[in-house]
């Protein structure tokens, strides 16, 4: 029987790439066509079919997609975009990069999703859009979100980086709504190594997205070129698309396995968990992350020490995410401590525990057992200090 010391290291996430996908990548490498080509076109077509026939355009990252979505909506200097104070910083960065102002609002402590009451209260005459985040794959209340947007004539740019395969009332995120941006980073539910995609958009907006991702260029005839806007370069490669095609085939199984693993976490911890569990949601939750909150006020060790202790037991952990408004770049805009208490508490206390499809239920048992032991010692030590 393996002892704790001899068990393999368990990271908090790991992509699952099968041999068929590796062979498909090798085929692309041998083809001589490595940049955007037939595989990118195929991936966009298959993603479109997966999302009910909506238009899909791929990019090199969800960050690029979010920025291009803002540009497609004509959002820029003087505009405001409402977004949660707790997310990966890219959510706010793209707003600032187009010259608009990110207007932060707090999140719910357990769902980690944007507080829609606060979002509506934050609307001003300068507000052009709301950019919600489907945190960890748990959908925002879409009915309420779009009702607010319709009342105030706002665009919605969904940061669905965590939510490929999530559903709201039986409908896949990205199959409806306004502009929806996905991430295919290696730690997401499906990957293209690095990459992303936008679902939705009018013909004019799709044209803007296409121009933004390839230098603003258009071709005419065999030798004609024009540059219509000073675009960037965010086109996906066929190598990346080959990986994405293999992943998309397995996405339903990946997400089903994630739900099984999370069910095991909830089963073992139940109501007496030594940490605060995230909102469980329903079958529409795709569970990109499993990120409970530590009882830091009761512990004699810091979060960093907790993570290092887990690592010493062969278990990886992450932090998703610090509160955005407390970063230097956003303090410069006037944001300060105490404005968004839930986001700040999550930023202090959150810890991401292992969750990926190749895990076994016994791996969950190991994580729960180890966390219980570490927290038990940390809390007992605090009580006796």
Residues involved in catalysis:
188
Torsions phi, psi for 124 (to 5 deg):
-130, 175
C-alpha to C-alpha distance for 241 and 202, rounded to whole angstroms:
24
**Separation in Å, CA 14 to CA 39, 212, 260, 283, 364:** 24, 32, 17, 23, 15
DSSP annotation of 4 reads: G
C-alpha to C-alpha distance for 103 and 131, rounded to whole angstroms:
10
Q: Are strands 167-168 and 196-199 parallel, antiparallel or unpaired?
A: unpaired
Cβ–Cβ < 8 Å for 109, 342: yes
Q: Are strands 179-183 and 155-159 parallel, antiparallel or unpaired?
A: parallel
Torsions phi, psi for 352 (to 5 deg):
-95, 120
* Distance from the Cα of residue 135 to its chain's centroid: 7
C-alpha to C-alpha distance for 57 and 65, rounded to whole angstroms:
9
* Letter string b/e over residues 343-378, b meaning 16 or more CB atoms within 10 A of that residue's CB: bbbbbbbbbbbbbbbebeeebbebbbebbeebbeeb
C-alpha to C-alpha distance for 57 and 198, rounded to whole angstroms:
5
């Amino acid at each position: 029987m393996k002892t704790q010391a001899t068990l393999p290291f368990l990271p908090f996430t790991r992509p699952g790439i099968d041999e068929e996908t590796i062979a498909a990548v090798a085929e692309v490498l041998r083809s001589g066509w490595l940049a955007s080509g037939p595989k990118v076109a195929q991936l966009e077509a298959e993603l479109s079919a997966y999302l009910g026939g909506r238009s899909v355009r791929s990019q090199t990252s969800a960050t690029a997609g979010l920025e291009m979505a803002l540009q497609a909506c004509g959002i820029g200097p003087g505009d405001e975009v409402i977004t949660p104070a707790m997310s990966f910083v890219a959510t706010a960065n793209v707003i600032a990069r187009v010259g608009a102002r990110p207007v932060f609002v707090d999140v719910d402590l357990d769902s980690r999703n944007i507080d829609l009451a606060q979002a509506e209260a934050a609307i001003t005459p300068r507000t052009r859009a709301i950019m919600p985040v489907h945190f960890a794959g748990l959908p925002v209340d879409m009915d309420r979100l779009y009702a607010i947007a319709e009342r105030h004539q706002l665009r919605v740019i969904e940061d669905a980086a965590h939510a490929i395969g999530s559903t709201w009332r039986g409908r896949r995120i990205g199959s409806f709504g306004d502009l929806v941006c996905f991430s295919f980073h290696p730690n997401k539910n499906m990957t293209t190594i690095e990459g992303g995609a936008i679902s939705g958009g009018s013909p004019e907006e799709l044209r803007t997205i296409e121009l933004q991702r390839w230098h603003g260029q258009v071709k005419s005839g065999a030798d004609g070129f024009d540059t219509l806007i000073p675009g960037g370069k965010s086109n996906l490669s066929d190598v990346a698309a080959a990986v994405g095609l293999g992943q998309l085939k397995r996405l339903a199984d990946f997400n089903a396995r994630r739900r099984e693993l999370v069910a095991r976490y909830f089963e073992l911890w139940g109501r007496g968990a030594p940490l605060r569990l995230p909102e469980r949601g329903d079958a529409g939750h795709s569970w990109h992350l499993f990120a409970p909150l530590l009882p830091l006020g009761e512990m004699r060790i810091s979060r960093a020490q907790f993570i290092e202790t887990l690592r010493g037991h062969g278990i990886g952990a992450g932090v998703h995410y610090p509160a955005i408004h407390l970063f230097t770049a956003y303090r410069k805009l006037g944001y300060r401590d105490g404005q968004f208490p839930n986001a700040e508490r999550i930023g202090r206390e959150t810890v991401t525990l292992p969750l990926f499809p190749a895990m076994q239920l016994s791996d969950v048992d190991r994580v729960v057992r180890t966390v219980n032991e570490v927290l038990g010692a940390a809390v007992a030590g605090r009580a006796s200090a």
